[in-house]
Chains A and B, each alone.
Chain A
Amino acid sequence: MAMQEPTFFILTALAEQPLHGYGVIRAVTDLSGGRITLRAGTLYAALDRLTEEGLLVVDREEAVDGRLRRYYRLTDDGTTALSAEVDRLRANAAMAGARLRRTTRLAFGAGR
């Protein structure tokens, strides 16, 4: 089943390094070119679900200015899930690209 876009970006954000809540929000905004802005309630619902599914775990906790920051990282299952999604997207894109090229060529052919 296709992964939902916010889920995809959250996993992508964590693929490189462990991040805390606000770190994830900022990374997702950057990675999606400002298209997706996660709100805290939505983010934590997703983190809960992904943790429960075993795709994420808590990496460590830090106290910054007396505030609790919890860092998350991808598990092996999480990496596998993200790779599978990447393969799926790549296959889809390749297929669509090939079709488009064929139609464009045909259109040019007809114009000549």
Chain B
Amino acid sequence: MNPLERRYRRLLLAYPRGYRRARGEELVTTLLEGAPPDRTRPAVAEAWDLVRGGLRQRFGPPHGRRYTALAVLGAAALAWVAFGGALRVAGEPDPGDVALPAAMSLMPPDVMAAGRAERNWTSSGGPTEVEVTYAPGSRPLPELIAALRERALAEGWTGVAVSATGFTVERGGETMVVTVGTGPTEFGISPFVDIRYPLPGPLLPTAAAAVVLGGLTGWLLTAWTLRRFRSRAATSRLAIALTGVPALLFITASAIGVALNARGSTLTMAFSAALPERLGLLFGAVTLVLAALLPVERRTATPPVDAVRAGTRILAAVHLAFGVAIATVFVTFAVRMWATGANRAEMVSGFHDPKLVLPFAVYVPVALLYYSGVLLSPLLLLVSVPLLGVGRGRVSPAAWRVLLVAAISAATLPALLLTPYGGDVARWWLD
């Protein structure tokens, strides 16, 4: 072996072993045939091209824009999870515990007030922003501002600035910007206090490191999953997609929910809670296990899998699993009501906590499936209804009927939750 060949072979180590076994010899031939007779070392551009090709084989997603987009989404999702996780671990105990009472103490003691404190993800190390909204028809604004500011000074804050819509005060290195306005308040006539406190400035490097590491891990894991996905049989692909897509959707939903919440929207409350993020991570973990365990497609011996038949079976199973969970919630509610003689108002009062009614080992899977079912059933119906049309005659009548029943259950059970009775059941379950 001459030195040039040895050097080429060393560069080929950038490729995964399986790839080298399949292509290595051929690649060396091509490289040596292309080299001018006097060459003893690979050209820099050529070496870089090989290293890049090898790294792409090892760590990149399969070729195609859709795969790249998914890998980017996976990277962003894990960057987000790592970001939140790092802040929870490294952050001091919730500064909202300090910010909320501080802002509430500005309100006169004889006035009922409600408030909400959210971390402000969009700034770091800035002032705490307090927005006080009075119901229309309160005293004139300048009077309200003056009264609040007086209380702030009495509480030991130092005045920094006053404007037409509010004031800024300072205490012990902490700055609070108070804006006063009138408008619909979320809790009837009492004033509403909305507080946004910033991310602590010193945490910024930790958060940045978490984003980079999380993003990198997300990229590598998604690319790996997609490469496995590419070489699996149709049923395996469907299974990986049915867990992988919800994983990304749940984490994206939680990220959007938290981001919008921090900007004062209450519409996305349900998604900013920890559950969607955890569900996303759970689905993600299942996806990785599936990608690791499902065997590579054998192209020769087995007949090709019919996607319609496989899809019918899998969708029916998923719909039914969701349906059983939602039905379990309804039945538990009804049985509990009957057994204890309670009425619906008493059921939602908190005395009949579902976590205590059902054993934990039953509660957790039912809760996960119930929550996923409510969120995903409408989406899955978008697939299963067309599949009912396509599959008629192509799948066995029994399988078709099972999917029909499953799809009907997926449409009716979540819809039942929208009835007054179902609403009480949903409230009871979520409380």
Contact = CB atoms under 8 A, between A and B. Distances in A.
A41 B49 contact: yes
A45 B45 contact: no
A21 B49 CA distance: 15
Interface residues of B, number: 21
A49 B31 CA distance: 20
Contact of B30 (A25, A45, A49): A25
A21 B54 contact: no
B181 to A, nearest CB: 52
A39 B45 contact: yes
Contacts of A67: 25, 28-29, 32
B26 A45 contact: no
A39 B53 CA distance: 10
B32 A39 contact: no
Contact of A40 (B25, B31, B56, B63): B31
A70 B28 CA distance: 12
A43 interface: yes
A104 interface: no
A42 interface: yes
B242 interface: no
B88 interface: no
A39 B49 contact: yes
A99 to B, nearest CB: 31
B36 to A, nearest CB: 13
Contacts of B52: 41
Contacts of B380: none
Contact of A22 (B23, B34, B54, B56): B34
A41 B14 CA distance: 11
Interface string B256-296: 00000000000000000000000000000000000000000
A40 B54 contact: no
A15 B26 CA distance: 21
A105 to B, nearest CB: 41
Interface of B: 23, 25-34, 45-46, 49-54, 56, 63
Interface of A: 20-22, 25, 39-45, 49, 64, 67-70
